[in-house]
Amino acid sequence: MSSTLSDPLLAAAFWTGFGALIVTLLLAGEIVNLRMALRRRQRRERNTLAKWRPILNAAVIGEIPDALPHLRRGERTIFLKFWVHLHQSLRGSASAALNEVALRLECDVLARDLLRGRRRAARLLAILALGYLRDRKAWDALQQQAASADSTASLQALWALVQIDRKEAAATMMPSFIKRGDWALSQVVNILQEAREDCAEVLERIIPELSNDRLPRALQLAEALRADLPPAMQAVLLRHEEIAVLAAALRIVSSPAVADDVRAHAAHADWRVRVQAAKALGRIGGREDVATLLRLLNDPEWWVRYRAAQALAELPFLGRAALERMRDEAADRYAADMLTQVMAEKEMA
């Protein structure tokens, strides 16, 4: 063996194998250690929940004990997690009672401490707790979190700010809602549902000032929050040159006053605009738009034909017989096929 190891390459190979053996043993030790830590954590969680679950359950039904036990250091994070979980499914007096228990245990102080700490998981938990507690003192720290590059933490901080003061959150954070592409629009809308009216006001104010690259997201937000923009503003947006803005603007059209602008886009060169024009005509169109929709039914793009057929089927003054006549008279086979499909969909719905 010693002669083999005198060859430097064989020696290197041997020591590589030996290193792998040592690392494997260390990995095995770490796996066992992690499993034991998991068991300890589970035991601690069981004990903590056995102590606090009855108290929080009693609080939820309005029976907060006069004297609360001491919240030990080792119990704090587990308690806060459970408390957040309970909060998620509660509203009104039950939620207020949970807050009362947490405040008496000084969880607001604890959460603010955790928010200042370096552990990201603890910060996320603190943000949730401070949001439910509607902790005004944490406003600045939460705003800092909301401005951070960490998408998850910033979005949760935004939620907490909305919980604390929806009007101020809408006013101060709106530029961020629009600017931050890393914030999923679906999540932003979820968070802002409670501040819908406040956001609509702010959106109406800032949309005219936004640059072309920000406008589509702002309009998507307006659509999702069902913010009714004034017809004059809708008309201005419908004369925009950017395809993305035009398509987004057509999606929020709600006033027959802008019908002429919408009709003009039915012949737009870009199919993404034509498809939205067809949809918009389905919402605000009248008898005079049937011809336009029939023309769109011959469009080379499948989606335009589909939306045009849907729009025709939705027009309240067109019955099944009228749609069948249109189908039979259609010169284009694709148009007839699409009307057949949409009529079948309507029938099966």
Q: Where do contacts with another protein occur on this chain (CB under 8 A)?
A: 1, 3-5, 7, 9-10, 13-14, 16-18, 20-21, 23-24, 27-28, 30-31, 34-35, 38, 81, 84-85, 88-89, 119-121, 124-125, 128, 151-152, 156, 181-187, 189-190, 193, 224, 302, 305-306, 334, 337-338, 340-341, 344, 348-349
Among 171, 242, 187, 234, smallest CA distance to 212 is for 242
- Residues 264, 281 contacting (CB under 8 angstroms): no
Nearest distance in Å: CB 94, another protein: 16
Nearest distance in Å: CB 119, another protein: 8
Q: Which is nearer to another protein, 181 or 256 (CB)?
A: 181
Q: Which is nearer to another protein, 192 or 315 (CB)?
A: 192
List the Cα angle 246/249/255 in 5-degree steps. 130
Q: Which is nearer to another protein, 135 or 223 (CB)?
A: 223
- Side-chain-side CA neighbours of 346 within 13 Å: the count stands at 18
User: What single string gives the DSSP state of each residue in 201-231?
Assistant: HHHHHHGGG--TTTHHHHHHHHHHTT----H
Nearest distance in Å: CB 100, another protein: 22
- Residues 112, 131 contacting (CB under 8 angstroms): no
Nearest distance in Å: CB 74, another protein: 18
Q: Which is nearer to another protein, 29 or 65 (CB)?
A: 29
Q: Which is nearer to another protein, 3 or 211 (CB)?
A: 3
Nearest distance in Å: CB 39, another protein: 8
- Taking each helix axis from N to C end, the angle separating 120-133 and 107-116, rounded to the nearest 10 degrees, works out to 140
Q: Which is nearer to another protein, 131 or 262 (CB)?
A: 131
Residues 6+ apart with CB under 8 A from 273: 243, 246, 247, 250, 265
Nearest distance in Å: CB 62, another protein: 24
Supply 114's token pair.
Answer: 């955790």
Rounded CA-CA distance 176/183 in Å is: 9
